[in-house]
Amino acid sequence: MNLILKEITSENWEECIELQPHEDQKAFVASNLYSLAQSKFLPNFETLAVYKDQKMVGFVMFGKDPDDSQYWIYRLMIDASHQGKGYGTKTMKQVIERIKAKPDTTDIMVAYHPENQAAAYLYKKLGFTIIGKAPWGEIMTRLSKN
């Protein structure tokens, strides 16, 4: 399976905001439009489109959080029509490798909605361990760089 991560640009941002999770997942992840707007205030964050062949199938946003200086994966969203094909796992593995390659990486953090069982399964499978509950109510997880 060949997935490619590409920067969100003026040429592909509209395609990105058209991607949607399943209806029952919308409470678990911010819209891509919101995420792109939020990224403008997080200059150390990357927003990337996930492509399978020439088709955009997802979106991911990550970077060094200004509040705690940890690398966080803020968003992972695979379009509803492309879920169940392993794209989320493959995307996360690529993002983890990109973050681990940065010289100032210690740990990689992810938080998810407590009812999002798919996210809980994915992050556990990738080696993230639960470290507690965030003040905003999400489950916080950590992956060691080593």
- CATH number of the domain bearing residue 139: 3.40.630.30
Report CA dihedral (37, 27, 78, 22) to the nearest 10 degrees.
-130
CA separation for the pair 51, 5 (Å, rounded):
6
Task: Note if the pTM is more than 0.85.
Answer: yes
Dihedrals phi, psi of 106, to nearest 5 degrees: -110, -70
Distance of CA 60 to the CA centre of its chain: 4
Report the number of distinct structural domains present in the chain: 1
Residue 1 has pLDDT above 70, yes or no: no
Q: What is the pLDDT of residues 104-127, one digit of tens each?
A: 988 999 999 999 999 999 999 999
